[in-house]
Chains A and B, each alone.
Chain A
Amino acid sequence: MVTPTENDLKNQEGIGPVTQGDKIVIENLSIDYGTVQALKNVSFSVKEREILGVIGPANSGKTSFLRALNRLNDLDLSVRTRGSIRLNGKDVFRQMDAEEVRKKVTMVFALPIPLPMSIFDNVAYGPRRHGVKDKRELVKIVEKSLQAAFLWDEVKDRLSSSAMKLSGGQQQRLCIARTLAVDPEVILYDEPCSGLDPISTAKVEEAMFELKAKYTQILVTNNVKQAARVGDRVAFFLMGELVEIDEADKLFTAPRDKRTDDYITGRFG
């Protein structure tokens, strides 16, 4: 829940300035769980169609940050959010409702969560709820989404079988296909490969690369190497603060902050 002060509202009413190419602009974002501050006054922006890697040790606030972007934090009543997040210049807390935000900014979770229904129904789930009834159109959306998530060839002959029977890696790509089916603009990944073997991980990463053509992607990961492989830019969070954000090459070869250097070389965390 958001409790903006009067001053906040005055400053942030209306559509704010957007730099060319900025998809998401985060300003003074703070998140509290009860008395614990998970994120402290973070400001930066995410560029159109980039993959932003977000790294940091446990309790660094990276997941809280991710869940603020599509307002999933709203579900937890103990969460207090201050500051603003603008998507395409529109304030997601004050100018959009949660469903609208989540449809544009979808999320792939740490563990694959196929819904207990068929592969087809899983992918068609979002479009159906958003009012697509035409069977042929659904078939088209499902095929397109599964192809984009690199799963089509593996499942095209058994679309009506249960999604629970797929392997972990396939399930995770199914979840990606499911988010693509609602035609989002931004895809959030919350440690999407933490439960996957290296080959499945490679396939998920491959899918992310291909999706760059169309989507802005933010990847929270515990795996520093994965952030280096996949990310165009990488942000390093530590204890609720944004320590550093830079091009992946620069951040990993010549970090400006000592703490970043310590983390990526494995001296802590």
Chain B
Amino acid sequence: MKISSQTKQKIAFTLLGAAAVLVIVPVIVIFAILIEKGLPAINWQFLTAMPRMGMRAGGIFPAIMGTMYLVLGTIVVALPLGVLAAIYLVEYARQNWLTRMIEVAIVNLAGVPSVVYGLFGMGLFVIFLRFGASILAGSLTLAIMILPVIITASKEALSSVPRSFREASLALGVSKWQTIRCVVLPNALPGILTGTILGISRAAGETAPILFTVAAFYLPRLPKSVFDQCMALPYHLYVLSTQVPNVNPKIQYGTALVLVGLVFLLNLVAIITRSYIRSKKQW
């Protein structure tokens, strides 16, 4: 049988379209299940109260706050470090063995499994540097984990700023650093934010890196300093699902919904910031 090229094209388009549509199916299913089973658990008390009765009742407030602290700590460490490294690599570094080593290291860092980061963080920050299991150790571990994401995105954002902008500034006798600060960075900001969004989402949702470095099994109070342990949503969810018998599934799904919602909210804030900055730039 001979199929006309028209028909072939139709079949191909249908297959391509189906593949694209298929991507949204898991997202919808996950959200549907979480909302159906988790929403009934969510109320003001669930979000703002301490857990009670071995986490079988009460709220998840310390876990929410713990995750917030960790995300904040991670950004504070990873964002400046990542952006500075990207600026060096894009604007200053010459092509030599050192920069090639750095590039290879970044690619490899991105491929390391998260549990390895957890063990590394425990070895370096918790034990060797004697931070103990603490917000500091956890944030540093998460920061190292998302560093490659931020560096790679920032590098791309910096390289996409037209060379002509740099030359126009340099041709006025403006120094290279001033050019980077006043012309290149403002125009690269949306791209840098995108990378940060991706990194934050990952940091907020990971369990393995915080397992050994910060997460508390059950700690019904808020941390007092960066050297305290804290609860965190992903680990709390893991504990509720596997370590505590007879938990109402409502609470498990509710916790999962809050975690997903929190990541979603973080993304949303960053996306709005980004589009606001973008709307103000005109090229």
Shortest C-beta distance, A128 to chain B (Å), equals 8
- A99 an interface residue at 8 Å Cβ cutoff? yes
A window 215-235: CB within 8 A of B: none
Tell whether, in the assembled complex, residue A178 and residue B172 are in contact, meaning their CB atoms are under 8 Å apart: yes
Interface: A120 (CB within 8 A): no
> A162–B175 Cα gap in the complex (Å)?
24
Q: A179: which of B172, B183, B187, B281 is its contact (CB, 8 Å)?
A: B172
Given A113-B164, A116-B281, A164-B282, decide whether A129 and B172 contact each other with a Cβ distance below 8 A. Answer: yes
Task: Please measure, in the bound complex, the distance between the C-alpha atom of A113 and the C-alpha atom of B173, giving whole angstroms.
Answer: 16
Asked if A36 is an interface residue, CB under 8 A from chain B, the answer is: no
- Which residues, 141 to 184 on B, are CB-close (under 8 Å) to A? 164-165, 167-175, 178, 182-183
Given A77-B94, A99-B174, A109-B164, decide whether A125 and B169 contact each other with a Cβ distance below 8 A. yes
Contact with B along A124-155 (1 / 0, CB 8 A): 01100110000000000000000000000000
Find the A residue at minimum CB distance from B282.
A164
| Chain-B contact segment, one of A100-108, A206-214, A236-244, A245-253 | A100-108
Chain A nearest CB from B185 CB (Å) reads 12
* Residues in B whose Cβ lies below 8 Å from that of A165: 282
- Give 25 CB contacts A-B under 8 Å: A70-B171, A72-B171, A75-B167, A77-B94, A101-B173, A102-B170, A103-B173, A104-B173, A106-B171, A109-B167, A109-B168, A109-B171, A111-B164, A113-B165, A116-B165, A125-B169, A125-B182, A126-B172, A126-B173, A129-B174, A129-B182, A130-B173, A165-B282, A178-B168, A182-B173
* Complex CA–CA separation, A164 to B281 (angstroms): 9
Query: Is residue A24 contacting chain B, with contact meaning CB distance below 8 A?
Result: no
**Bound state CA distance, A165 and B283, in angstroms?**
10
- Give the size of the chain A interface in residues (CB under 8 angstroms): 28
1/0 contact trace for B100-128 toward A, CB 8 Å?
Answer: 00000000000000000000000000000
| Residues in B whose Cβ lies below 8 Å from that of A175 | 168
CA distance A175 to B283 in the complex (A): 16
Q: At the interface, is chain A mostly helix, strand, loop or mixed?
A: helix
Measured in the bound complex, the distance between the Cα atoms of B168 and A125 in whole Å is 11
Q: Which of B164, B172, B282, B283 contacts A125 (CB 8 A)?
A: B172
A168-218 residues with Cβ-Cβ distance < 8 A to B are 175, 178-179, 182
Residues in B whose Cβ lies below 8 Å from that of A101: 173
Residues of B within 8 A of A (CB): 94, 164-165, 167-175, 178, 182-183, 187, 281-283
Query: By the criterion CB–CB under 8 Å, are B171 and A102 in contact?
Result: yes
Residue A115 lies at the interface, judged by CB distance under 8 Å to chain B: yes
Complex contact B171–A107 (CB within 8 A): yes
Min CB gap A118→B, angstroms: 10
Contact A99 B282 (CB under 8 A): no
How close is B190's CB to chain A, nearest CB, in angstroms?
A: 12
| From A70, A72, A111, A126, contact of B174 by CB (8 A) | A126
Question: Known contacts being A72-B167, A75-B167, is A162 close to B282, with CB within 8 Å?
Answer: yes
Instruction: Please give me the residue from chain A that is nearest to B179 by CB atom.
Output: A129
Q: Which residues of A contact B283 (CB under 8 A)?
A: 116, 164
B189 → chain A closest CB, angstroms: 12
B183 neighbours in A (Cβ, 8 Å): 115
Residues of A within 8 A of B94 (CB): 77
How far in angstroms is the closest Cβ of chain A from B170? 6
